Structure 1
Amino acid sequence: MHLIKPLGAAAAALVLTACTTNPYTGEQQASKAATYGAGAAAVCGLVGAIDSGKHARNAALGCGIVGAGVGAYMDVQEAKLKEELQGTGVQVVREGDNIRLIMPGNITFETDSYNLRSSFYSVLNSVGQVLSKYADTTLRVSGHTDNTGSRQYNQTLSERRAGSVADYLATREVDRDRMLVQGMGFDQPIADNGSAAGRAQNRRVELYILPNQR
């Protein structure tokens, strides 16, 4: 059934009510509505929730870019990612119009390996489902390590780990051409490498979701 059609008075009501409420979490978002037009994003999100196929994706794209703006388009993705990734250990961080997913090394890879843990497949499946549906973004996959070992070893490991995440997402209908893969070695720590806890935080893969420039 095609869902890309006039939505009428009922949709207008949804837009008005969604201007203050996130359609997925129920949280009040008056400021974002004023800035981005979150009401239109709510309609896009509802369309996507009803029909996860190509028509829903196209409808979401149209609403996000034309009706609601980039911010609202990213709002819907952020809410959906938080919903899908709750309790997985992956952090969803909003930075302006960008979204950053922080995937800790202890849940993604075995020590000194770039082979994904089989237990992490289901998490990446959820990420891939959202990214394939909201395709009007560019993805940057960055690998990071702690400072144990040589610079060259850590650089190579970080590149391979980022590549493993990107390669798996490509099997979940996320276009590989959307992805920039890079290894950062130990040059961008987020915690103190002087402690075991800090090193564990630094061993990670980060996925940046960036809206396409138009």
Structure 2
Amino acid sequence: MNALKPLSIAACLAVVSACTTNPYTGEEQASKAATYGAAAALGCGLIGAIDSGKHARNAALGCGAIGAGVGAYMDVQEAKLREELQGTGVQVAREGDNIRLIMPGNITFETDSYNLKSSFYPVLNSVGQVLAKYHDTTIKVTGHTDNTGSRSYNQPLSERRAGAVADYLATTQVERNRMLVEGVAFDQPIADNATAQGRAANRRVELYILPKSR
């Protein structure tokens, strides 16, 4: 039992350290990672102190993964996506433990079309590479349009654009069953449809990257 204590303590110290500093950005973190890390550190210490069997060894070795938690897992993905998408025109937004990618229509599709621009393939390749690596997430792909034209026209267009993005990501080894595909036509504008600039902003596809339910 005494031999296991240093292992448990070392594992717990590693967890706490990982929870305070993001190794990819060098920045101090104040996310859920800290909460999970502290809880895991306490749990590992107790297990190591009271259980000298195989269970304690496995728990101590797994402490780092537990301590990383949802927050840190998403932190790493966010940092990698920002690195890959810098200068592409795709916006990366963090919303709690969720990540949102906003893909403007002018760089993804031709006007009034759901065929992807070939120039956008490398961007989706980069996104797919990250999503395939960090597979403990679900992905909601949502198509949006401006309010030009009827709902009967824009609803299927928004759905097909979302589907085109999802289908392409599936070719980059992102499992299709991880993706929920939907179109919302012009129901969720992010800018004023009264201006050409606003309508252009509203024509988009968004990816919501969500941690899997615990």
State the TM-score bracket (shorter-chain normalisation): 0.7 to 0.9
In the other structure, the counterpart of 1:191 is 191
**More moved, 197-206 vs 23-32:** 23-32
* Cα distance change of structure 1 residues 151 and 65 upon mapping to structure 2, 3 Å threshold: farther
In the other structure, the counterpart of 2:153 is 153
Q: CA deviation at 1:123?
A: 0.6
Q: CA deviation at 1:13?
A: 8.0
Aligned-residue CA RMSD (Å): 2.7
Is 1:102 aligned to residue 85 of structure 2?
A: no
Whole-angstrom distance in 2 between the partners of 1:68 and 1:115: 39
Whole-angstrom distance in 2 between the partners of 1:113 and 1:64: 47
TM-score by length of 2: 0.78
Letter in 2 for 1:154: N
Whole-angstrom distance in 1 between the partners of 2:31 and 2:137: 24
TM-score by length of 1: 0.78
What percent identity do the matched residue pairs reach?
82
In the other structure, the counterpart of 1:84 is 84
The answer for unaligned runs of 5 or more in structure 1 is: 1-6, 41-61
In the other structure, the counterpart of 2:114 is 114
- Say whether the 8 Å CA contact 2:104–2:201 is kept in structure 1: yes
In the other structure, the counterpart of 2:143 is 143
Secondary structure in 2 matching 1:35 = helix
Q: CA deviation at 1:14?
A: 6.6
In the other structure, the counterpart of 2:47 is none
In the other structure, the counterpart of 1:68 is 68
* Cα distance change of structure 1 residues 63 and 95 upon mapping to structure 2, 3 Å threshold: farther
* Cα distance change of structure 1 residues 145 and 22 upon mapping to structure 2, 3 Å threshold: same
1:116-135 map, 5 Å: 116-135=116-135
Q: CA deviation at 1:197?
A: 0.9
Whole-angstrom distance in 1 between the partners of 2:184 and 2:29: 35
- 1:115-138 Cα shifts (integer Å, max 9, x gaps): 111111111001000111111111
| Equivalent pairs, count | 186
- 1:125-170 Cα shifts (integer Å, max 9, x gaps): 0100011111111111000000001111110110010000000000
Q: CA deviation at 1:66?
A: 2.5
* Cα distance change of structure 1 residues 20 and 175 upon mapping to structure 2, 3 Å threshold: same
The answer for unaligned runs of 5 or more in structure 2 is: 1-6, 41-61
In the other structure, the counterpart of 2:168 is 168
Whole-angstrom distance in 1 between the partners of 2:192 and 2:28: 36
